[in-house]
Structure 1
């Protein structure tokens, strides 16, 4: 209502909503922000995997693993299946009950169970194992630094070669887009002429 009372067009209202938050501050969406949100999403996913692993193996208290950080991850599509390979560090006191926590590095493979007709599938754990410093398993689906176990039979994907790889946004540069360039880009988006929608002849409503 305030925009309309001030005589601002709907197009200008849309542009301003893209540029500013309701309090008037400029919206920013840097590549570092996108990577941060993506990393948080992966961490939540792996945290759920670790919790399920603790529950399945009846690891409680000091024996339970606690996620510390996700260090590497890669998604790829191979033979009509989506896979995720991840490295993460977790800590636990273990069975010896020492006061100091020990960090371990793990490898986990997730396979998507999407079936025909489904919009989204579920990620199922197909491999969950500890990896050592000298482990150097080869995987055709991970061009980055994901560490795999030496036993290639431990994981399902990565033996044929991917049809598609999702790039890690961490490889992007972190240069912020200045306000002038961002406004110019958004205004170009709104200035693109749109063809009017025309009903096909068979769908034209008959006059009443």
Structure 2
């Protein structure tokens, strides 16, 4: 999931001329939630960290719309969150992933507003990943980058 978000952030950085320390880069995916929003479709809600100038970790909330049965994805929200302040209401996350931080302004993200749709998946990644995990993730990153480079969007 981190690789998908990084690929989308690379596209976002390029479109917004963000370079160096201003560019968004995923350091860690802290938590992940898949949310179904009825006719709105499937969304991924994430909390990720990134290092900024001075080595400070910042938490941000990206939301991704999954399109064409998961073959394409679109970044619909990218918002820095302050854990002590931001905790918007998302019905898709609050039942199983209470640690997920959302922007306080629920209008900034599209998924999770329908209280009737239950959440599907919650993942909190462990700090120590199994041996060989990096090689598998590198192969997945290459595949995702290839898909986005050859995509018609």
TM-score (ref. length: structure 2): 0.69
Give the alignment of 1:16-165 within 5 angstroms. Answer: 42-80=1-39, 81-93=41-53, 100-114=54-68, 120-133=70-83, 134-142=85-93, 143=95, 144=97, 145-161=99-115, 163-165=117-119
Report if aligned partners of 2:36, 2:112 keep a CA contact under 8 Å in 1: no
**Contact kept? 2:31, 2:123, Cα under 8 Å:** no
Count of matched residue positions in the alignment of Structure 1 and Structure 2:
120
Structure 1: runs of 5 or more not aligned? 1-41, 94-99, 172-208
Change in Cα spacing, 1:104 to 1:167, as seen in structure 2 (3 Å) is: same
Take 1:159 and 1:62, find their aligned partners in 2: how far apart are those partners?
33
Q: Which has the higher contact order (CA 8 A, sep 6+)?
A: 2
- Give unmatched runs, 5+ long, in structure 2: 126-153
Q: Does the 8 Å CA contact 1:78/1:162 hold for their aligned counterparts?
A: no
Matches of 1:151 and 1:86, distance apart in 2: 16
The structure-2 alpha-carbon separation of the partners of 1:120 and 1:155, relative to structure 1 and needing over 3 Å to count, comes to closer
Report the CA distance between 1:58 and its aligned residue.
1.0
Name segments (4+ residues, structure 1) moved above 2 Å. Answer: 61-66, 161-171
Cα distance in 2 between the residues matched to 1:163 and 1:152: 17
Alpha-carbon distance between aligned partners in 2 of 1:157 and 1:71, rounded to the nearest angstrom: 19
Cα 1:138–1:75 shift into 2, 3 Å: same
- Looking at structure 1, the residues matched to 115 and 77 of structure 2 have their Cα atoms a distance apart, in angstroms, of 18
Q: 2:33, 2:121 within 8 Å by CA — same for their partners in 1? A: yes
Deviations 1:137-157 (A, max 9, x none): 000010302100010111111
- Bigger radius of gyration: 1
In the TM superposition, residue 169 of structure 1 has moved relative to its aligned partner by 5.3
